[in-house]
Amino acid sequence: MGIFKYYQCFAALIASGFESTAHTCDSSTFPMWGYGWLLLLSSSKLVLLFLQCLFAIVSALFILTAIRPALRLNAFQFNVLMWLVVLSLPWYALSSVLWPHSVATSLLLTSLGLLIKAQGSESPRLRLWVLSGLSFGIMLNFRSDYILLPAGLLLIVLLFDNRPLLMKTKMLIAWCAPVLLTMTPWGIYTQHTTGHYLQTSTNSGHVLYLSLGQLPGNSWGITPRDEDPSMAALLENEFGKPTSSLTYEADVVLKAKF
């Protein structure tokens, strides 16, 4: 089952109206819950994979049309490029697994495509900024890895956009507001669950600790595996019983240890 069971737990939790006993996995704040919401649409693997592949190709073609002016290709060259994308097997391979990476990547491409179209327009086109921010915020509900990317994107706009500062401020607010709005439900949920308002999942300590195991012959005896015995022993010693490394409490301990 791997990580997929966690998405099933989220789907059961959401379907129950957030009855806490419906979530039976060992961590209620890992991973992000986006794919759990998607499972409410259908539990059919065939349907989910079809939707993922369809969204993947649509988002890829969409961002290609957004960057077309910068590519400087004639109509024939651009059509060849689009067909190469349509026939790209690795792109479909990414979307042929029941996981959030495919949906998150498609949402990210959609957000960036909308942002490019909005930025390239002479008029502010605030609607596109809002839609881009909305896509980005939904994407963060699938994979919170990109949580710091908005800071870089906004800095680029501030530095290189030639519009008046007031107009740039309006555009950035139009983009940031939907991002924050779409992350608010997760924050409320984690506040209720852990007592802390979070914008990410609680596996960063797990990842940081195990990353030290990438060093061959490291003096800590850490192995780069989820079942690392030193991590399990550390948490059991800290909490007095076997504890999942993906809970909020374990996340705090592992980040401090790292």
Per-residue pLDDT of the chain (258 residues; tens, 9 = 90+): 579 999 999 999 999 999 999 999 999 999 999 999 999 999 999 999 999 999 999 999 999 999 999 999 999 999 999 999 989 999 899 999 999 999 999 999 999 999 999 988 777 789 999 999 999 999 999 999 999 999 998 888 888 888 888 998 899 999 999 999 999 999 999 999 999 999 999 999 999 999 999 999 999 999 999 999 999 999 999 999 999 999 999 999 999 999
Q: What is the pLDDT of residue 209?
A: 98
Burial of 114 (0-12, 13-18, 19+ CB in 10 A): buried
Peptide bond before 178: cis, by omega within 30 degrees of 0? no
Listed residue (196, 235, 231, 238) closest to 213, CA to CA: 231
Cα separation, 253 vs 236, whole angstroms: 11
Cα separation, 75 vs 29, whole angstroms: 48
Global pTM reads 0.94
Cα separation, 182 vs 34, whole angstroms: 11
Q: What is the pLDDT of residue 158?
A: 83
Q: Tell me the C-alpha to C-alpha distance, in Å, between residue 152 and each of 147, 159, 201, 208.
A: 10, 11, 21, 23
Q: Tell me the C-alpha to C-alpha distance, in Å, between residue 204 and each of 93, 94, 154, 178, 247.
A: 27, 23, 25, 25, 10
Q: What is the pLDDT of residue 122?
A: 75
Q: Tell me the C-alpha to C-alpha distance, in Å, between residue 59 and each of 46, 52, 181.
A: 20, 10, 23
Residue entry with tokens 């957000």: 111
Q: Tell me the C-alpha to C-alpha distance, in Å, between residue 55 and each of 46, 52, 95, 110.
A: 14, 5, 9, 10
